[in-house]
Amino acid sequence: MAKRATFDIRQQTGFTTVAMICFFLLYLPIVTLVAYAFNDNDSVAIWKGFSLRWFYSAWNNTQVIDASIRSFQIAIAAALIATVAATMAALATTRTKPYKGLTFKYAFINQPLMVPEIVTAVALLVFFSRIKIWTGYSGLGYLIAAHTAFCIPFAYLPIRARLENMDLSLETAAADLYATGWKTFRYVTLPLLWPGILAGLMLAFVVSLDDVVITEFVKSGGQDTLPTYMLGQLRRIVTPEINAISTVFLLLSVAIVTIFFIISRKRT
């Protein structure tokens, strides 16, 4: 009997050409942005010569430093809270027998991924504006809460995927040896789940770090994050300082993803 041929998209005519064009169009603007971060000219459109002046300018810009610190504070807090909530949600939706309404809960958790971000931003604006009036509080807590709500599904998906692919025999064996639910989770489930948790934490952190739409709607005066600061500067005057900030931001994101990828592979 003849062996049935398997379909492989990579073997199709023109696949390599189309892939190269896509990568070229995707990364050319990024390469251009990074190159002009080293431009000595005040204009981002005319190359004058190589210089690091805009990196020094950004480093000495107190507004950039304050916005960067604020961005990291919000992203770290939101990522940690979202990852904890996502882990509990993933355990509740995978370590249970299927029941009516489970699919609805799954869809409800992932709702921020299906609804346009602008809709979520407007809803949070209306909701938090009432709380601000009632309480008089206008601190960073609203931004952290908003980012946490938006980041939960990003952390939930890799954690749930990891749980679904885990072998239940070890957890079952721990239960047979009279281990409590907490001890089973601490000594068996959690060590096996770490790669998924790290992946979820990474996604939540990166999504929170570069969020613009929700931050722009929810933030109060003087609470600019680095992305919203950059957006404000683009509305006024565009200099290579924005390129320099974007380049550092890009390198930082790549470094974070690389570190988490290495850690996840070692723990897999």
Contact (Cβ atoms closer than 8 angstroms) between residue 217 and residue 124: yes
CA distance 99 to 215: 37
CATH level 3 topology of 62-267: MetI-like fold (1.10.3720)
Average pLDDT, stretch 248-252? 84
Q: Which residue has the higher pLDDT, 86 or 255?
A: 86
As given in the structure block, the two tokens for residue 107 are 């869809």
CA distance 225 to 67: 5
CA distance 126 to 15: 47
Q: Domain residue spans in the chain?
A: 62-267
Does residue 213 surpass a pLDDT of 60? Answer: yes
How does residue 41 score in pLDDT terms, banded at 50, 70 and 90? confident
Q: Which residue has the higher pLDDT, 175 or 118?
A: 118
Backbone phi and psi for residue 39, each to the nearest 5 degrees, phi listed first: -80, 135
Contact (Cβ atoms closer than 8 angstroms) between residue 220 and residue 138: yes
pLDDT tens, residue by residue, 122-138: 999 888 988 888 888 88
pLDDT tens, residue by residue, 237-248: 777 888 888 888
Contact (Cβ atoms closer than 8 angstroms) between residue 121 and residue 217: yes
pLDDT at 222: 82
Contact (Cβ atoms closer than 8 angstroms) between residue 188 and residue 170: yes
Average pLDDT, stretch 185-194? 80
Arithmetic mean of pLDDT over the chain: 83
Does residue 2 surpass a pLDDT of 60? Answer: no
Contact (Cβ atoms closer than 8 angstroms) between residue 57 and residue 244: yes
Average pLDDT, stretch 74-79? 93
- Cα of first residue to Cα of last residue in the chain, in angstroms, is 40
As given in the structure block, the two tokens for residue 23 are 């990568």
Q: How many CB atoms are closer than 10 A to CB 165?
A: 9
CA distance 213 to 141: 17
How does residue 84 score in pLDDT terms, banded at 50, 70 and 90? very high
Does residue 77 surpass a pLDDT of 70? Answer: yes
Contact (Cβ atoms closer than 8 angstroms) between residue 185 and residue 88: no
